[in-house]
Chain A
Amino acid sequence: MLTVTSLCKAVPGGRVLFQDLNLTVGKGQFVAITGESGVGKSTLLNLLAGLDRADAGSVVIGGIALEPLQDDALTRLRRDRIGFVFQAFHVLPHLDLAHNVALPLVLQKVDAHEALAKAAGMLEAIGLGGRGADYPRQLSGGELQRVAIARALIHRPGLILADEPTGNLDPETAAKVMALFVDQVREAGASVVLVTHSPVSAAVADRVLHLTRDGLVEHG
């Protein structure tokens, strides 16, 4: 699903984050990436999502190389093939839960009624059935992250990129959310790249990689 070859990236100021980094994530594989703060985990995720450009190397998602693509093409790639889960949830405060979850489908120009119907089903699946008309500020942190997970999966992407999805949650809630996350992605058959500090979160992965200045090192 995802192939990264000889990826190089330095930040403004000249500090090299990583050099000649390689990564392969198979279809349906769950990969966790850990590392110290500032080592470049979020930057790596941005490169995989096409939100940033590498200095050298290549990223191929579903057989499509990112480097030659312009901004619009990268945007469409994200829209159709990638789902995102953020640490800060990033649920739109002015849309109710159903519309928030349905957003990726309407971006693909799916009929609104069909999209909302699917959103209702997703909310049911994550334990928030019947609350489609509620607004984000009515939810707890854990509930918001579940909504974000539903939004990330509703359009059946092949790849999920998750940046510290439990970073803002207490341990008990984090465990429940991770369990739900794993269930949903397994059911969808999506590949996952999860960036996390949490060993508990990393433990659910098929592979755990540690990002250092020298590149990705496999754990265990």
Chain B
Amino acid sequence: MGKRGSLPLVAMRWMIVSEWRTYPSRTVIAVLAIALGVALGFAVHLINGSALSEFDHAIQTVSGDADLQVHATSAAGFSEALYPQLARVPGIAKVSPVVELHAQAQGHVALTILGLDVLNAAVVTPRLLGRRSDGRRDPSDFFSDSAIFLSAAAMQASGRRVGQSIDITSMGHSASFRIIGDLPGIPAGQAIGVMDIAAAQWRFGQLGKLQRLDFRLAPSADRAQLSSALALRLPLGAEIVTRHNEETRSDSLSRAYRVNLDMLALMALLTGGFLVYSAQSLSVARRRPQFALIRVLGLERRSLVAQIFLEALVVGAVGALAGLLLGLGLAAAALHLLGSDLGGGYFSGGVPHLSFAPGAAFAFGALGVAASLVGGLLPARDAARSQPALALKNLGDAIDPRVRPRIRLALLFVVLGAAGSLAPAVNGLPIFGYASMALLLAGGIAMMPWLARTLLWIFLRRPISNVSLSLAIQRLWGAPSQAALALSGIVASTSLMIAMAVMVVSFRGSVEAWLYQVLPADLYLALDDSGVGGGFDAVTQNNMRHVEGVAWMGFMKETPLRLAPDKPDVWLIARTVDGPAGGLPLLSPGLAVPPNDIPVWVSEPAAGIYGIHPGDHLVLPIAGVTPRVFVAGIWRDYGRQQGSIVIDSDTYTRLTGDARRSIASVALKKGALADAVITRLRAVLPAGVADHLSVSRSQEIRSKGIAAFDRSFAITYLLEAIPILVGLIGVAATVSAQTLARIKEFGMLRHIGVLRRQIVAMLIAEGALLGAIGGIAGIGLGLAMSQILIRVVNPQSFHWTMDTRIPWLLFAIVIIALIIAAGGTALFAGRRALSTAAVTAVREDW
């Protein structure tokens, strides 16, 4: 009785090809939706990956291929006596001592200065050696105390060439050097200067100090054992650093940002999946009588399901392939035109090369296909369950007003989503947070039929005299599943956009409020160079306080502090914590400090990265001392993602002997003119210091801060816009398809006397109601998802919390836009449908 097992491929191919040939635009739209989602995700991933690869390469470059390194944990460095001690450790072939300083050239160009012992560096880190301008590698030039080799990027940024002089400032010391050559081993984009180590120590106040030791190990040396042996000999203030640690540290700086961007881009793909679901569902609904016929003729259920899955598979495969190619092009164009920094500020400078990632390409391609297959899953199930006999009569099970929309599955998704939001981060990433957003989204979409019917019930309580409106409401109420179908794509994209918008508005508002809290003064004065040894000395500070027009002043210093080898440096901030210049934005009331304990206040990010809580005790490696401190509170700091620790200024001076401060906050007396006070302040500064002073008004700093915030979220706004576009195309396609499928219904209405314009009005009303329902659903769902972004994703990714703020105006705009889009689409499609003669429409089979 016929062959079992194999599928009737020829029959399936005829059905699929004829469908696509007859309705090519719908298939193209579904393919485009998948392609856009894959392209966005792949492009963002490639850009970030290329930038990170370049970043890692930069680290390797500065590290110079050393097998192992010992780094100072603060800018103060460690004693150079450590160098001969460690050089004698068995297994060490060679040690190259390094002075590594952050500096400024010509007053404005940031660069890294490396002071090298050329003889040792030639063995351990030969890539860091300079080349004379005439092409000769003459080691004797390295010993000059006024010679420097600059990388191409350093020369370009400073506007200086080989043979010219360049002024460099670091650690509070300035000196002029002659550029005698370049650094051929340093790749493009890295601003580095290399000089003799003794010259660097002398010129920049580092006599007796080093910041780094680079090791070349003996061929037979065991790296792990050697690391342990070295670590035992290290004083506080120095640590072993491997390349892996360096890469992990730099990777961790931007990982959360990159992952969140990837997730955002994947949201576009998710929207594409919903669009495929809408398109497939509509296609199945329209072809219900055809499927019934072919089931009657002898196509098995599983073959019908296989056919629909095959359609989804081809759409997904073509879309994914197109998306990968488009994504590659987008990434190349973006890197060429915009560079690699997508606004986060992690990768600014340089033009990285595009690094193609075959693994990522496969993953995004597979995701595109998966999105399409999942989109076809439910329609395939519906088609298989359809009763052939009923469908042939075109009664079908498409509309049965007696059937109540089910809500249990939707509620299950919502509950699972809520539960998932309580889960902790996985390896520092909010995986469960994003999973819970996806579950909420699925639950919200599944709830659409119930929501549509619930919202429309309000209108049904009293009879409506207007024929068109009454027909529209009855139609939507009677077929809520069809309404939900039209809306699933737009609800998905609207909710994602709303979630992002609420999060960004909340974040922006919180940042603005924070800026007002942390910038209480009128003026801020900063010296270009910071670090131990730089800044306003105690006498200058006192003189500045007594300048006419000054109400009060606060002084501050920021120095990098390494608490762990594989984590980014935190900023140690020595500042006034009492009085008008004090006042940290604490997240909870500060704890009472136990007697004899040194209080510090840890920022949110630092607390999150290192697992610090109020009441904890920490040991801080500060400039050669290691005080045990008490965590008195956690404060909000949006300015330093890697974390910061505040210590009282006087306490810092007492511990380190360093009284210099590099940042001053100035509050003006009532009536004092800012420009006059600035002039008077400059006058009391020591000679030469005023040249390195920058003055900013607090309003300028706040404006720049907000502008930096907006820049960092620019790519987010773009990634929000794409799903909206996909969703709008989706609602246009599905409303259009549903309308065209009702030609016979319109023909019947015309037969019984409903005017053409009344049918058009009915369609506009249906579209507008769909848009309103979709807007309400999207906003509600988006608000729920925004709370996951605000309370789960951001804290777990960036260790930042924020206060929720609602963009009411945006909500109103969204609803109006959706009403217009859906109503307009229904009007356009309705006019096309009504162009068919009523008699012809009723007579047609299909």
Contact = CB atoms under 8 A, between A and B. Distances in A.
Interface in B290-319: 290, 293-302
Given A52-B389, A91-B845, A93-B845, A104 B2 contact: no
A204 B22 CA distance: 40
A86 B302 CA distance: 25
Contacts of B295: 75
Interface of B: 1-4, 6, 8, 10-11, 14, 18-19, 21-22, 289-290, 293-302, 387-389, 392, 845-846
Contact of B293 (A92, A99, A112): A92
Contact of A88 (B6, B302, B845): B845
Contacts of A80: 1-2, 298
A51 B388 contact: yes
Interface of A: 46, 49, 51-52, 64, 71-73, 75-81, 84, 86, 88-95, 99, 103-104, 106-109, 112, 115, 151
Residue among A107, A108, A109, A151 with the highest chain B CB neighbour number at 10 A: A107
B11 A93 contact: no
Contact of A112 (B10, B22, B297, B846): B10
A76 B298 contact: yes
A72 B2 contact: no
Contact of B392 (A86, A104, A108, A115): A86
A84 B296 contact: yes
27 contacts: A46-B389, A49-B296, A71-B300, A75-B298, A76-B2, A76-B300, A78-B296, A79-B297, A81-B1, A84-B297, A88-B392, A90-B289, A90-B293, A90-B845, A91-B845, A92-B18, A94-B22, A94-B290, A95-B18, A103-B14, A106-B10, A107-B8, A107-B11, A107-B294, A107-B297, A107-B298, A108-B298
Given A51-B388, A52-B389, A109-B3, A99 B14 contact: yes
B258 to A, nearest CB: 47
B347 to A, nearest CB: 52
A89 B302 contact: no
Nearest to B23: A94
Given A76-B4, A80-B2, A104-B298, 17 more contacts: A72-B301, A72-B302, A73-B1, A75-B295, A75-B301, A76-B298, A79-B299, A81-B1, A92-B294, A93-B22, A94-B18, A95-B14, A99-B18, A106-B11, A107-B8, A107-B299, A108-B298
A90 B2 contact: no
Contacts of B2: 76, 79-80, 108
Contacts of A95: 14, 18
A76 B297 contact: no
9 shortest interchain CB distances as A-B pairs: A79-B298, A94-B18, A51-B389, A76-B2, A106-B11, A106-B10, A107-B298, A94-B22, A80-B2
A93 B846 contact: yes
Nearest to B295: A75
Contacts of A73: 1
Contacts of A108: 2-3, 8, 298
Contacts of B3: 108-109
A100 to B, nearest CB: 10
A71 B299 CA distance: 11
A146 to B, nearest CB: 15
Nearest to A62: B1
Contacts of B22: 93-94
A97 B289 CA distance: 18
A65 to B, nearest CB: 13
B307 to A, nearest CB: 12
A103 B300 contact: no
B14 A75 contact: no
B296 A51 contact: yes
Nearest to A152: B297
A75 to B, nearest CB: 5
Nearest to A115: B10
Nearest to A92: B290
Contacts of A86: 392
Most chain A beta carbons < 10 A, residue from B8, B19, B296, B846: B296
Contacts of B10: 106, 109, 112, 115
Nearest to A78: B298
Nearest to B20: A94
Residue from B2, B22, B293, B294 whose CB has the most chain A CB atoms within 10 Å: B2
A99 B295 CA distance: 16
Given A78-B297, A90-B293, A94-B19, A109 B8 contact: yes
A46 B846 CA distance: 21
Given A91-B845, A99-B14, A106 B8 contact: yes
B14 A77 contact: no
A75 B8 contact: no
Contacts of B299: 75, 79, 107
A44 to B, nearest CB: 12
Contacts of A92: 18, 290, 293-294
A49 B392 CA distance: 13
B50 to A, nearest CB: 46
B297 A109 contact: no
Contacts of A91: 845
A82 B620 CA distance: 87
B737 to A, nearest CB: 15
Nearest to B304: A75
Nearest to A110: B10
A103 B294 CA distance: 9
A92 B18 CA distance: 10
Contacts of A64: 1
A109 B298 CA distance: 11
Contacts of B389: 46, 51-52
A151 B297 CA distance: 10
A151 to B, nearest CB: 8
A109 B1 CA distance: 13
Among B2, B19, B297, B392, find the residue whose CB has the most chain A CB atoms closer than 10 A. Answer: B297
A157 to B, nearest CB: 10
A109 B300 contact: no
